[in-house]
Amino acid sequence: MGVDLSLKKELKAYQVKDTIRSILNHKQEIEEKVQMLISDSLSAYYFDRLGDRLLELKNLLSGDAEAEAVEPLIREIGVLLEGYNQYSGRQISIESILPGEIISRYSHFIQSAE
């Protein structure tokens, strides 16, 4: 029984296309996993830094904190929160993480920092 040469070529072309498609799908999966890993890592980084800055703010408030010390810290918390929101996919407002005392005392500054 003879084998049709054109069918053999078509089969080979199909096998090559299927292999390429499989490689491209695998590449896409790897890129998505790498992006997810980067987002998770950066989200954790921003979360940790936010925690550190909030503790620093709490310590400042336990003493007699001057506005010159608090305002830059609030600004930094805003920047860190923005980064956290970007990489975590969440939308947390600065008002929801700052103590009420800070919000009432520095509300004008918090609104202009956003």
Give the start-to-end residue ranges of the domains of the chain.
Answer: 5-113
- DSSP letter string, 78-98: HHHHHHHHHHH-----GGGTS
For residue range 52-92, list pLDDT tens digits in order.
Answer: 999 998 888 887 767 788 889 999 999 999 999 999 999 99
Share of the chain above pLDDT 70, in %: 90
- The answer to whether the predicted template modeling score (pTM) of the entire model surpasses 0.85 is no
The mean pLDDT value for 5-26 works out to 93
* Under 8 Å between Cβ of 87 and 39: yes
